[in-house]
Each structure stands twice: as structure tokens, then as C-alpha cells.
């Protein structure tokens, strides 16, 4: 196992040191040994970028945990008839299917390899601070991001492979790794994992207390430490992810506090997307409402993945489509909803529509290209609404989002939990949050992707991969 983790580290270093992406803002300087990496500030920066590149892998947030596998499990799509791609077993929770097992094993290994690389980075970066390779402020910023990456990955592994937390918090779940020594860690209960996740997020937020995003917001410059902070785990993104984690753990007061802090202090840096940039007549529509995204991963293969799975150009070979009638029901047939118009959905054949949200735009200079949303501020509005004791104030929070999606206010007698569920169904297409919403609330019957009348009872617990359970 130790050799495998060392191999992954070298892969990450090679990717980080040999890639030159706009968002990285760091020029490659050739090949480095491990010791050289942590005695060179630029090489350290690129090693950290390697962690983000790993997050963008198709087995993680590049596809599986954003717009394909996890969305099939959330009943987003209707299974194809003609494609040879393995899709239906994910939608029907056939976790013993050989292809499904292989996919989840790949996700598991990629996630834990990235965690181990983050742990190594944290250790080495602390040494680099002591050796004056970077300033304490620079080092703390990088360590804060790496710590948040570790927490985020463990939390999503828990959400996927762990029990329904609301009913079985003391059930065995996953291991939690905080060192890079290659030693196998025991399986912890879900509650124990949550304790460590929240501790890591708290540490990360403390280390990011001087994050430039707090005073400057999201700026487009080439400075590694201050530029494009929405593409890194910045202070507000970490606090938002803490709110998400607290809500999962049923700690509603803490979830409310974290979400409120982000919106009170940081919302000014993440403004609502202007209507003229998302209306259907726009030549280069901002389909992801990018200004509202607190954290997105730069995914260099976004449009390759889009074309392979969703493009209407595939004709009968298109892999994932949505049932048009089901889609209409979810959006309550409100054609004026910015999330339901031609920018996000395109007609194919019969009653099927193709998901167009992550298609490319003609102008390659657009700053939102290649950005895979992970956390957006609307989720914080939903968290506040769900944890708000005053029903009218909760409706006001939901109406704020609805206004910026071109929808009228809700009726004063509207049922808040029902409206929150509707919003999760509308807002997070291709972002992997709906299945986890259903699991957190242990929803027994969810709208199926097959037709307006189908429902599914999800199997919310993915079995641990054989690579974890098989004795070594």
C-alpha cells in the first residue's frame, strides 16, 4: 500500500509540474524530487495544484460525483435503450453488478490516494514553513486548502458508503486518514467520521482566516495566493461546506450559524448572476451561474465528458437524457425558470431532452469555461430555510432564490419542507447533491427518471469496495 501511495504522489507531482492551466497561474519548472518540491515555493504551489487536478478526475468530481453516476442514483435521467454504456444498474442500485463494483472501487481508490497525497503535502508544507521556504501566511493558506480537501473527500465518501446518518450514526462506515505513513486505518462509525470531518473543516477555516478572498473577493489575477479563489477551497467555501456537514449530522443550529456567516460576510463577493447572462437569447450563456459558485473545480475534460454522455449530436447513441414529461413536472412547467430553458435543456427525439448545462460556448475567453460547481450559495439559502424556526422567514429565503431564477414568490401557506425538496430537484442538476439530499432525509419514494409516474425506493448505502474489505 505504501508503494502505491508513493506512486500516486509522483503522478500528482508530474501532473502538477508538467501542466500549465490558466487557473493554476504557475509555470512548470521541470521535474523535481520530493525534497526539491518542498524546498521550492513554485514547486510547492504546483504540488497543491496536483491535488485539485486529482479532484477533477472523472472518477471523482469530474464526472462520477457531479453529473453522471451520482445523478443516476438520484433518478435524474431515463436509462438509454440503444447505448452499450452501463447505466441502468446505477439507477436501479444494483451494487453487486461487476461494472458498478468496479466503478465504485475506482472512486474509492482515487479519493483515498488523493487524501494520502494531501496528508503528505500538509506534513511537508509545515516543514517548509519551519525552513523558511514559504512565509507562515503562505504556508497556512496552502495547508488550509489541503486540510479542507481531506475533509471534503472523507465527507463525500461517508455520504456515499456510510449509513443513513439520521437513523444509524453509530454504524460502522469508513476509515479516516490523517497521516501519509501508508498504515491501514480501522473503520470508524459514521459519528466518529463526522467528528473528524468537522474538526478538519474547523482547522482549515482557522488556517484560512487571512484568506485574500475575505478582503478582495474573487479577483482574476496571476497571483497564486489571491487569484481566482472561487476555484480553490477558500475561507467561505470551507465555511459553507461546514454548514453542509453540520446539516448532515443533524446539528441544525451549527449549520444555520455557518451558512449565515458566509452570506452575511461573504455574499457580496459572490453576487447573483445577472439575468442578461443567462437568458435563452444569450450567445454565450453562463449556464452554471458562475458568480454564485463559492467553489468550483477546474475540469479540463468537462466538454469531452459532456460530448460523451449528453450531446444531442450523438443522436440515438446519446447516453443520458431526461424524460421531458418528468422534467416538466419537476419544474412545475414554469418555462420562465432560468434553469429550465433552452440554455440547460435541448430537445432530442420523442419526449426526451438532453442536458445542455455543461456544453461549451463559442467564446473561449469566457471565464466560466471548464468550471465544475461543487458548492453554490443557493445551498446556503436552502440550509437557512431548513433550519429556520419561523416558517415565513424560511419562505422569504426561498423566495430570494426564486426571484433570481425568474419565478414568483411562493404562496404564504406553502409547505416549507416540500418547497425545499423541489428546489434541490431544480437547482443542482449535474452537481451531485440530489441523491445526498434524499439520503440525508431518508426519503422512501423518490421521483424516478423513467417517466412522470415512476418512483424508486433507493438503496442508500453503497457497499465498501473489495479493495477495502479483502484482507491484505
List the grid coordinates of 97.
Answer: 453488478
Question: Hey, which CATH number is domain 36-457, 1.20.120.720, 3.20.20.70, 1.25.40.390, 3.90.470.20?
Answer: 1.25.40.390
Q: Is the pLDDT of residue 272 over 70?
A: yes
- Give 348's pLDDT tier (boundaries 50, 70, 90): confident
Under 8 Å between Cβ of 420 and 398: yes
Q: Is the pLDDT of residue 3 over 50?
A: no
Under 8 Å between Cβ of 87 and 450: no
- Which pLDDT belongs to residue 294? 98
Under 8 Å between Cβ of 118 and 47: no
What tens digit of pLDDT does each residue of 321-347 get? 999 999 999 999 999 999 998 889 988
Average pLDDT over residues 344-354: 81
Q: Is the pLDDT of residue 223 over 70?
A: yes
> Is 337 buried (19+), middle (13-18) or exposed (0-12) by CB count in 10 A?
middle
Q: Is the pLDDT of residue 240 over 70?
A: yes
What tens digit of pLDDT does each residue of 284-304 get? 999 999 999 999 999 999 999
Please tell me the pTM assigned to this model: 0.93
Measured CA to CA, the distance from residue 215 to residue 270 in angstroms comes to 13
- Which pLDDT belongs to residue 14? 43
> Is 91 buried (19+), middle (13-18) or exposed (0-12) by CB count in 10 A?
buried
Q: Is the pLDDT of residue 357 over 90?
A: yes
> Three-class SS of residue 456?
strand
- Residue 374 parent element (H or E): strand 371-376
More confident residue, 32 or 26: 32
Share of the chain above pLDDT 70, in %: 91
Amino acid at each position: 500500500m505504501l508503494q502505491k501511495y508513493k506512486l500516486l504522489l509522483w503522478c500528482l507531482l508530474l501532473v502538477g509540474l508538467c501542466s500549465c492551466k490558466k487557473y493554476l497561474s504557475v509555470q512548470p519548472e521541470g521535474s523535481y524530487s520530493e525534497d526539491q518540491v518542498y524546498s521550492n515555493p513554485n514547486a510547492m504551489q504546483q504540488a497543491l495544484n496536483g491535488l485539485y487536478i486529482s479532484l477533477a478526475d472523472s472518477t471523482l468530481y469530474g464526472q462520477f460525483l457531479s453529473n453522471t453516476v451520482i445523478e443516476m442514483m438520484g433518478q435524474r435521467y431515463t436509462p438509454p435503450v440503444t447505448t452499450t454504456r452501463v447505466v441502468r444498474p446505477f439507477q436501479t442500485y444494483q451494487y453487486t453488478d461487476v461494472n458498478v463494483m468496479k466503478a465504485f472501487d475506482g472512486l474509492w481508490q482515487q479519493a483515498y490516494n488523493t487524501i494520502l497525497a494531501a496528508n503528505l503535502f500538509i506534513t511537508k508544507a509545515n516543514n517548509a514553513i519551519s525552513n523558511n521556504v514559504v512565509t507562515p501566511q503562505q504556508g497556512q493558506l496552502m495547508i488550509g486548502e489541503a486540510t479542507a480537501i481531506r475533509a471534503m473527500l472523507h465527507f463525500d465518501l461517508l455520504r456515499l458508503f456510510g449509513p443513513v446518518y439520521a437513523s444509524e450514526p453509530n454504524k460502522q462506515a469508513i476509515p479516516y486518514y490523517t497521516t501519509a505513513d501508508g498504515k491501514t486505518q480501522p473503520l470508524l462509525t459514521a459519528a466518529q467520521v463526522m467528528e473528524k470531518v468537522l474538526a478538519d473543516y474547523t482547522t482549515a477555516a482557522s488556517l484560512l482566516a487571512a484568506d485574500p478572498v475575505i478582503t478582495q473577493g474573487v479577483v482574476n489575477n496571476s497571483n497564486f495566493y489571491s487569484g481566482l479563489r472561487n476555484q480553490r477551497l477558500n475561507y467561505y467555501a470551507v465555511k459553507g461546506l461546514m454548514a453542509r456537514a453540520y446539516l448532515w449530522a443533524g446539528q441544525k443550529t451549527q449549520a444555520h450559524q455557518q451558512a449565515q456567516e458566509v452570506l452575511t460576510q461573504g455574499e457580496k463577493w459572490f453576487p447573483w448572476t445577472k439575468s442578461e447572462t443567462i437568458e435563452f437569447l444569450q450567445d454565450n450563456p453562463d449556464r452554471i451561474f458562475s458568480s454564485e459558485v463559492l467553489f468550483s473545480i477546474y475540469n479540463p475534460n468537462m466538454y469531452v465528458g459532456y460530448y460523451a454522455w449528453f450531446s444531442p449530436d450523438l443522436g440515438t447513441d446519446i447516453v443520458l437524457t431526461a424524460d421531458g414529461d418528468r422534467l416538466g413536472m419537476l419544474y412545475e412547467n414554469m418555462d420562465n425558470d432560468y434553469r429550465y430553458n433552452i440554455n440547460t435543456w435541448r430537445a432530442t427525439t420523442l419526449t426526451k431532452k438532453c442536458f445542455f448545462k455543461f456544453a461549451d460556448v463559442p467564446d473561449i475567453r469566457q471565464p466560466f469555461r471548464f468550471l465544475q460547481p461543487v458548492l453554490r450559495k443557493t445551498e446556503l439559502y436552502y440550509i437557512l430555510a431548513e433550519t429556520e424556526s419561523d416558517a415565513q422567514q424560511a419562505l422569504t429565503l426561498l423566495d430570494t432564490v426564486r426571484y433570481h431564477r425568474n419565478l414568483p414568490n411562493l404562496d404564504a401557506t406553502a409547505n416549507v419542507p416540500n418547497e425545499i425538496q423541489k428546489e434541490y430537484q431544480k437547482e443542482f442538476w449535474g452537481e451531485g447533491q440530489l441523491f445526498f439530499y434524499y439520503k440525508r432525509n431518508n426519503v422512501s419514494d423518490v421521483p424516478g427518471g423513467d417517466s412522470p409516474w415512476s418512483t424508486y425506493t433507493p438503496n442508500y448505502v453503497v457497499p465498501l469496495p473489495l479493495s477495502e474489505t479483502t484482507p491484505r
